[in-house]
Amino acid sequence: MAQLFTKDTQAIFWNNNTTAIQRMLDYDYTIQRKTPSVAAIVAPTGGSKFEKFFWGADEIMIPLYKNTEEAKAAQPQADVLLNFASFRTAYDVTMEALSIGGFNTIMITAEGIPERLARKMNAVAKEKNVTVIGPATVGAIAPGAFKIANIGGTIENIISSKLHRAGSCGLVTRSGGLFNELSNIIAINADGIAEGVAIGGDRFVGSVFIDNLLRMQENPEVKYMLLLGEVGGTEEYKVIEAVKSGKITKPIIAWCIGTIAKYYDSGVQFGHAGASANAEAETAEAKNKAMAEVGIFVPESFNDLPNKIAEVYNDLKTKGMIGDIVEPQTNTVPKVRKNKQFICTISDDRGDEATYAGFPISSLATPDTGKGIGDVISLLWFKKQYPKWATDFIETVIKTVADHGPAVSGAHNAKVTARAGKSVVEALVTGLLTIGPRFGGAIDGAAKYFKYADDNKLTPAEFLNYMKNEGVPIPGIGHRIKSLKNPDLRVEGLKRFANEYFPATPLLDYALTVEQLTTSKKENLILNVDGTIGILMVDMWRALGYSEEEINEFIESGTLNAFFIVGRSIGFIGHVLDEKRLAMPMYRHPMDDILYDVKMAEKI
C-alpha cells in the first residue's frame, strides 16, 4: 500500500469523542469529500443508535455500535480504526480489531499503555500487515483526502498550513505539536505535505520512522521526505541503513531534536517516554551526524531547518520533479450552526413533489404504477422495496382485519362514542384505544413468544409450561367464538396465501404443532388471526433476509400490532360513518343487562 489514505478512506471511531469527530467532518466538508471520513462510532456504553454531527451548515447522522465487531459488520468498507480508548482498554480494543480483521490501519491515541502489551500488540499487527500509528499520537493526515481527528489543529490552522490539499513532502515526526509546527514551516518554505504521520511518543510505537518512510518512498505523490527525530532510541539508524542500501532514493531532510541533552546529566528524559538517550549513539548529536554522513540533508540547527526545506524543494522544482499546484476549491465551514430538532428518514417534502423513501408520490399513487398500499407501507415503515409476494401479503393482512362486525370490543366502543356526538376522529381513536393484548393487539406478543419458543427449540408442551410460568395466556391463541368446529376462515386464507407464496413458513409450522396441543385441551384455543399474522410476519422477514436482531426490534417496537391498527381503522371509520348516517341517538346501556351488586360502604 503506497498511500496510507485516499479520499474514499473511511474509519470506525472507537469512543464517541464528538469534538474530534466533528473536526474530521469539518475537514471533510472543507476539502469537499463526498462521504464522511467516519463511517461508524463504537460507543460501548451509549444507548443511542446514532450521533448527529454538522456537515457544513447541515447535519448528518453517524451510526453508533456497541462494539467493533458490529460496527465492522455494518460498515465493512471502513478499513481504519481510530482507537480513542483509554490506556486501560486501548490494548484490548486493538487486539480485538486485529482478530476481526479488515483494518489496514489502526491509530491508537492513548498514552501509557504498558510497554509489554504495546510490544505484543505491535508484533501481532506487523504479522497481519496492519499499520499501527501510535500509541500516544495525534495520528496522521493525507492532505485533501483524510485526516485523523485533531492532527493539524483548527480548520483555520489547517488552511494556513496548506493541509487541505496535497503538497509534495512526506513528513514523519514523533510529536503531534511539532508535526503542526513543521507543516506550517513546510507550507511557508515549500508547497505543503503529501502525507504526514506523527508516529507517537511512547518508547514502543507500532509503525516506526522507517516503516513510514519506506511507504512514502513508494508513494508517487511524495517527492521528498522530512524526518523529525528525537534524542533516544536507534530508529534513525534504520533510515540510514535504507539510504545506504538504496532502498530509499528520494531526498530526505532530517533533524533530531534534543541536542541540548548533552548539557544535562545523562539519563534526562524529555517530554516523550522514548525521549531519553541510553547510549552515545542515541544522542541527538550522534544521530544528526550519522545521518548527514550518508547524504541526508541535515541542517546546522533547528533554526536552519526552514532554509534546508526551501533548498531541497527549490532544487526539485528547478529539476522539474515538482510541478505547480492548482489550488482546489474548498467549502467554508459556517461559524454559526443550528442543531436540528427533528430527524426524518422516511419521507421528504422539500422538492417539487414529496417522496416516500426516495420515491415521488406520483410513482406509487395511481393504478398505472402497479404499486399498492403494501408498497407504500414497505417504503414508509421499513424503508425498503419489498418483493411482490411480501407487499401482497401485507395487503392481504390489512384487508383481512379491516372489520369483524359491530360486536367486537373496538367497533362497539367506536359506535358508542359516535352516538355520544363525537367526531369521526374521536370515535375512531376510542376504537383504536381498545386494541390491546386481548383484542387485536396480540400480534407482537404472538411473534415474540412463538419466536422465543422456536428459537429455544421448546416442544409444544414445554412452551405451554413456560407460558404458564410466565402467567399470561399465549398471545395469538384462543377466540371467543371461533374454534375447531367453527374455524376462522380469515386464518385459513392467510395460511393458504403463505403456503402458496412464502419461500418457507418454519414458524407457522411450529405454531400449528402448538395449536394441536391447545385445541386438544379446549377446542376454541385455536391459532387466531392475531397469532397467524404475527407468526407469518416473522416468516416473511426471515425470508426477506432480516437479521434476528432486526426482527426482535420490530417486535419490541410494536410494528406488528400496527398492521391491525391500520386495517381495523378502516372498519372503525365505517362503523362511525354508519352511526352518523343513521343519525343514531345517544346510547345508554340497558340496566337489566347489568348485575348490580352494591353494598353500603363500611366505615373505617
Residues designated as active site: 272
When binding is defined by CB under 6 A, the residue of 134, 170, 431, 440 that contacts ligand ACO is 440
Residue with cell 542500501: 245
When binding is defined by CB under 6 A, the residue of 299, 476, 534, 567 that contacts ligand ACO is 476
Q: Closer to ligand LMR at the Cβ: 274 or 445?
A: 445
Q: Closer to ligand ACO at the Cβ: 178 or 402?
A: 402
569 binds ligand ACO (CB under 6 A): no
**In the complex, minimum distance from the CB of residue 529 to ligand LMR, in angstroms, rounded to a whole number:** 5
The site for ligand ACO, by CB under 6 A, has a size of 19
**In the complex, minimum distance from the CB of residue 406 to ligand ACO, in angstroms, rounded to a whole number:** 15
Q: Using CB distances below 5 to 8 A depending on partner kind, what does residue 478 bind out of ligand LMR, ligand ACO, none?
A: ligand ACO
Q: Closer to ligand LMR at the Cβ: 331 or 409?
A: 409
442 binds ligand ACO (CB under 6 A): yes
**In the complex, minimum distance from the CB of residue 482 to ligand ACO, in angstroms, rounded to a whole number:** 8
Stretch that binds ligand ACO, among 63-71, 142-150, 339-347, 477-485 (CB under 6 A): 477-485
Residues in touch with ligand LMR (CB under 6 A)? 404, 408, 440, 480, 529
Q: What is the DSSP string of 509-551?
A: HHHHHHHHHHHHH-TT--B-HHHHHHHHHHHHHHHTT--HHHH
**In the complex, minimum distance from the CB of residue 526 to ligand LMR, in angstroms, rounded to a whole number:** 11
3-state SS record for 419-476: HCCCCHHHHHHHHHHHCECCCECCHHHHHHHHHHHHHCCCCHHHHHHHHHHHCCCCCC
When binding is defined by CB under 6 A, the residue of 253, 398, 477, 491 that contacts ligand ACO is 477
**In the complex, minimum distance from the CB of residue 421 to ligand ACO, in angstroms, rounded to a whole number:** 28
478 binds ligand ACO (CB under 6 A): yes
Burial of 478 from C-beta contacts in 10 A (0-12 / 13-18 / 19+): buried
Strands 355-356 and 359-360: antiparallel
Q: What's the CA gap between 15 and 205, in Å, rounded? A: 21
Q: What's the CA gap between 142 and 5, in Å, rounded? A: 6
Q: Using CB distances below 5 to 8 A depending on partner kind, what does residue 442 bind out of ligand ACO, ligand LMR, none?
A: ligand ACO
3-state SS record for 221-266: CCCEEEEEEECCCCHHHHHHHHHHCCCCCCCEEEEEECHHHHHCCC
Q: What's the CA gap between 293 and 301, in Å, rounded? A: 16
3-state SS record for 21-62: HHHHHHHHHHCCCCCCCEEEEECCCCCCCEEEEEECCEEEEE
Q: Is residue 135 reached through a cis peptide bond, with omega within 30 degrees of 0 on the bond before it?
A: yes
Q: Using CB distances below 5 to 8 A depending on partner kind, what does residue 438 bind out of ligand LMR, ligand ACO, none?
A: ligand ACO
570 binds ligand ACO (CB under 6 A): no
Give the CB-nearest residue to ligand LMR: 404
Q: Closer to ligand ACO at the Cβ: 50 or 439?
A: 439
Stretch that binds ligand ACO, among 56-64, 166-174, 434-442, 449-457 (CB under 6 A): 434-442
**In the complex, minimum distance from the CB of residue 454 to ligand ACO, in angstroms, rounded to a whole number:** 17
Residue 338 is given by DSSP the state: -
Q: Using CB distances below 5 to 8 A depending on partner kind, what does residue 525 bind out of ligand LMR, ligand ACO, none?
A: ligand ACO
H/E element, 508: helix 506-521
Q: Are 437 and 445 in contact (CB under 8 A)?
A: yes
Cα Rg, the chain, nearest whole Å: 35
Strands 80-83 and 105-108: parallel
What are the beta bridge partners of residue 226?
A: 171, 253
410 binds ligand ACO (CB under 6 A): no
Q: Using CB distances below 5 to 8 A depending on partner kind, what does residue 85 bind out of ligand LMR, ligand ACO, none?
A: none
Q: State whether the Cα torsion 565-364-553-59 is positive or negative.
A: negative
**In the complex, minimum distance from the CB of residue 568 to ligand LMR, in angstroms, rounded to a whole number:** 7
Q: State whether the Cα torsion 150-155-156-159 is positive or negative.
A: positive
419 binds ligand ACO (CB under 6 A): no
The residues binding ligand ACO (CB under 6 A) are 438-440, 442, 473-480, 522, 524-525, 528-531
